[in-house]
Amino acid sequence: MSHVAVENAHGLDQQIAALDLKSDAQGGGTGRRYIPPHLRNKEASKNDSPGGWDVGRSNGYVNGFHDGRDNYMNGSNTFGNRGPVRNDRGGRGGGYRGRGSGSYVIQPVQNTGFGYDNKDAGGWNSSKDNAYNSFGGRSDRNKSAFYNDRGSSRGRYERGGFGGGGNSRWVDDSRDEEDWSKPLTPNERLEHELFSGSNTGINFEKYDDIPVEATGHNCPQHIESFHDVDMGEIIMGNITLSRYSRPTPVQKYAIPIIKTKRDLMACAQTGSGKTAAFLLPVLSQIYTDGPGEALQAVKNSVQENGRYGRRKQYPLSLVLAPTRELALQIYDEARKFAYRSRVRPCVVYGGADIGQQIRDLERGCHLLVATPGRLVDMMERGKIGLDYCNYLVLDEADRMLDMGFEPQIRRIVEQDTMPPKGLRQTMMFSATFPKEIQILARDFLEDYIFLAVGRVGSTSENITQKVVWVEESDKRSFLLDLLNATVIPGEVQDNTGENSEKPGKDSLTLVFVETKKGADALEDFLYREGYACTSIHGDRSQRDREEALHQFRSGRCPILVATAVAARGLDICNVKHVINFDLPSDIEEYVHRIGRTGRVGNLGLATSFFNDKNGNITKDLLDILVEAKQEVPSWLESLAYEHQHKGSNRGRAKRFSGGFGARDYRQTSSSTTNGGFGSRGSRNAGGNRGFGGAKGGFGNFYSSDGYGGNYSQVDWWGN
């Protein structure tokens, strides 16, 4: 790197000069001026006047997305005046459904006016660089303060030659300026935007019953309160603003593990509070340690490539997620916990305009949430360097492997510039722990702690599970009956809207179907029947997917017809009823689906339509019902018995009839570096279904790998 600068010293000099010029111009003729930290927010608010770029961007964000759907939609002819709100009809196959024009844009406002953004707005940045030159010892002091973890000054580049008057005021204050652990000035508007939403924190007494087991050597003690571990001023403030009162089980264990810089393999479902379980300690650590070498790397990138040239960002932390919506959801959480910090979270995923995402990255990116494909794309375009990424999180790891992301994940983690395991800290989350995940854990994790959190969804007695026999041809009319008649146990039916029979906005119903075509067809049907409904599946445009989700969340469309895309990870509160219009063929999928209800300690109802097409799930479904102490229809019991003794020899039989693969399991576990699940393995080997007895027990952690060895080679469809 540095030799580039030397060779190109002249050009660089010019670029720096150009930078200064530009800054002066932007400063409105005020010249180079240092703005002390405590005044910067005011400075930013001044710029907030209508027409200022800051407000412009914010509005772009608000109106085009998240919170501003109201404005956007009211201004749109597509919606509004005709009864139930819905997306298009008509334009089937036309791709884009619903809205008229404009590309879909993500424009976060996080940290506007701070940190890297100041570079664009303030115009004092280059004099700061000069200060580095003028006060030689300065950079070394910085180094000791921030470069503590990965000590070497690898990749840093020393500039010399074009010094120039430093600014002693800047130097005096710069300690504050660079101290990432101190909260920045509050921003009321942003605070409201981030925290006014519903409380997604799960703080419910019932969750105390969920068993957690941590294994691995030197496992730190779990905490009982957020105050038991020092996460710093910023994090504690944001925990309060988020109205989190006490940690969930997975948080109690994961937070101290991550804070003590250990690698982690956690088996936990979404809905257990696991996003915060890794975001809180990771962000807290970043606030403590500061940007380290990444800061200089980004500066170098700017200088080497010019003010308007390529600017590569070096995130300190990366979170990979399987679906776009989940990535977005994690990003939204990250923005909360990054409030008043210098950390700027970004999100990249497919289906959205990449140019916008690149521009957003260029405003600074310290924590990146991504789906694998788009991230690889960004890396190949030179927009993202993982050289300084000291925290890696793989969320829903089993799901990512199911979706065939393994090559991309290995490309990101192993075949690029990311620090190797041991140097970086790696956290993997997965609902199950099949062999593929064990191998990934062995490859990506160093001396890790294994955390098993009891299932929150299915075995929670919060959810009443019903299975009803419905022939294919009767499904639609049965669904209508259900929608009209459903009374959630323990809940007062909220009757809003003109038709009092239909569920109100606080009572959301999620209807799962197996195919995308089926989702469209059912949505059409419900619409014709007069229901406010929408749908989400992989053939809809990204914008439509997010809009459908928003309409559902907000209660504008209290019925959402969905495929598997919505089964996992999505945290939608107020889902009172999950209906499996089509049962999935995989029990894990079932568990995930019904886990969309009964969240945050609420009561939930899950109704599944069962007929002779669902033979493959009979046995597993029965087990789940028994485990969760649910009523089991007698016909299901006898069917399960029949199915077990049918001795069919189809693909599934191959996959599932081999008995519990204790041998496979032990083999893999013993070859895994300190997996720490030895005892679990043997318990499973002996007891087949694992920890059956415990309330909310560990049930099926190993079920999907436990049978036979063909797990990922041949799937149920023979692909």
Partner DNA sequence: AAAAAAT
Q: Return residues touching DNA (CB under 7 A).
A: 322-325, 349-352, 354, 371-377, 380, 402-404, 514-518, 536-539, 563-565, 650-651, 715-719
Are 595 and 566 in contact by the 8 Å Cβ rule? The answer is no
Helix, strand, coil proportions of the chain in percent (round to 5)? 45, 10, 45
CB of 344 to DNA, least distance (A): 21
Identify which of residues 104 and 226 has a Cβ nearer to DNA in the complex: 104
Identify which of residues 389 and 548 has a Cβ nearer to DNA in the complex: 548
Q: 218, 244, 215: which is closest to 231 by C-alpha?
A: 244
CB of 430 to DNA, least distance (A): 16
In one-letter notation, the amino acid at residue 183 is P
Instruction: Pull the structure tokens for residue 613.
Output: 């097409």
Identify which of residues 196 and 415 has a Cβ nearer to DNA in the complex: 415
CB of 200 to DNA, least distance (A): 21
Query: Rounded to an integer, what distance in angstroms lies between the CA atom of residue 706 and that of residue 687?
Result: 12
> Is the four-CA dihedral 386, 387, 392, 397 of positive or negative sign?
positive
CB of 375 to DNA, least distance (A): 7
Identify which of residues 342 and 374 has a Cβ nearer to DNA in the complex: 374
Pairing of strands 391-394, 264-267: unpaired
Identify which of residues 214 and 565 has a Cβ nearer to DNA in the complex: 565
CB of 330 to DNA, least distance (A): 13
Identify which of residues 505 and 654 has a Cβ nearer to DNA in the complex: 654
CA distances from 702 to 205, 268, 564, 666 (A): 28, 12, 21, 12
CB of 571 to DNA, least distance (A): 16
List all residues 6 or more positions away from 460 whose beta carbon is below 8 Å from its beta carbon.
206, 598, 628, 696
CB of 274 to DNA, least distance (A): 19
CB of 548 to DNA, least distance (A): 11
CB of 216 to DNA, least distance (A): 31
Q: What are phi and psi of 31, to 5 degrees?
A: 75, -175
Neighbours of 398 (CB within 10 A): 24
Mapping DSSP to helix (H, G, I), strand (E, B) and coil, where does residue 705 land? helix
Neighbours of 653 (CB within 10 A): 14
Q: What is the 3-state secondary structure (H, E, C) of 436-490?
A: HHHHHHHHHCCCCEEEEECCCCCCCCCEEEEEEECCHHHHHHHHHHHHHHCCCCC
CB of 514 to DNA, least distance (A): 6
Pairing of strands 367-370, 575-580: unpaired
Identify which of residues 500 and 713 has a Cβ nearer to DNA in the complex: 713
Are 199 and 268 in contact by the 8 Å Cβ rule? The answer is no
Q: How many CA atoms lie within 13 A of 390 on its CB side?
A: 23
In the block, residue with structure tokens 């005096």:
172
Identify which of residues 584 and 681 has a Cβ nearer to DNA in the complex: 584
CB of 555 to DNA, least distance (A): 22
CB of 445 to DNA, least distance (A): 23
Are 624 and 660 in contact by the 8 Å Cβ rule? The answer is no
Identify which of residues 223 and 392 has a Cβ nearer to DNA in the complex: 392
Are 312 and 298 in contact by the 8 Å Cβ rule? The answer is yes
DSSP H/E element including 393: strand 391-394
Identify which of residues 34 and 716 has a Cβ nearer to DNA in the complex: 716
Identify which of residues 255 and 368 has a Cβ nearer to DNA in the complex: 368
Identify which of residues 38 and 517 has a Cβ nearer to DNA in the complex: 517
CB of 381 to DNA, least distance (A): 9
Q: How many CA atoms lie within 13 A of 276 on its CB side?
A: 28
Identify which of residues 371 and 432 has a Cβ nearer to DNA in the complex: 371
In one-letter notation, the amino acid at residue 140 is D
CA distances from 411 to 177, 225, 323, 373, 377 (A): 36, 38, 18, 10, 11
CA distances from 265 to 38, 226, 709 (A): 41, 21, 22
Neighbours of 76 (CB within 10 A): 14
Q: Which residues pair with 290 in a beta bridge?
A: none
Q: What is the Cα gyration radius of the chain?
A: 27
Instruction: Pull the structure tokens for residue 370.
Output: 């991504």
> Is the four-CA dihedral 644, 647, 653, 658 of positive or negative sign?
positive
CB of 403 to DNA, least distance (A): 4
In one-letter notation, the amino acid at residue 164 is G
Identify which of residues 157 and 716 has a Cβ nearer to DNA in the complex: 716
